Structure 1
């Protein structure tokens, strides 16, 4: 399986504090959920224990919205939540 990132998703990585490795791990091993327009969502928590925007958080949750292309996935967007 290959996980590719749409340019929109690549831009969201930078501004939201995720890495491409975290996105791939989320698609490969995250919990799936149905998303709008027939897309698939993936969700996974990562230990963070670091500062983001001036506040320290223990956990970073990555949510990925993707479209399946045969056996591969095209990531459309990435959402990051800190807690």
Structure 2
């Protein structure tokens, strides 16, 4: 296994990780920012107010993007398993 192969696998792994976590984290970030702006505008100082909208937002994104995320991770895993013989020699 050459260093280029290892770096290519690491790059692909990081890219897949970014694609898997990105939509969920961005949804939580935007939802939290929106709730924080609402709290600042209305002067509501409840710390736990942002949890339910974040959970609901992440759930909606997971339902909508779930098939694509699942296909992405299964394709990556399948490609890794198919390339094991060429990686060993």
**Which gives a bigger RCO, structure 1 or 2 (Cα 8 Å, sep 6+)?**
2
TM-score (norm 1): 0.26
Which structure has the highest helix share of the two?
2
TM-score (norm 2): 0.24
Which structure has the highest strand share of the two?
1
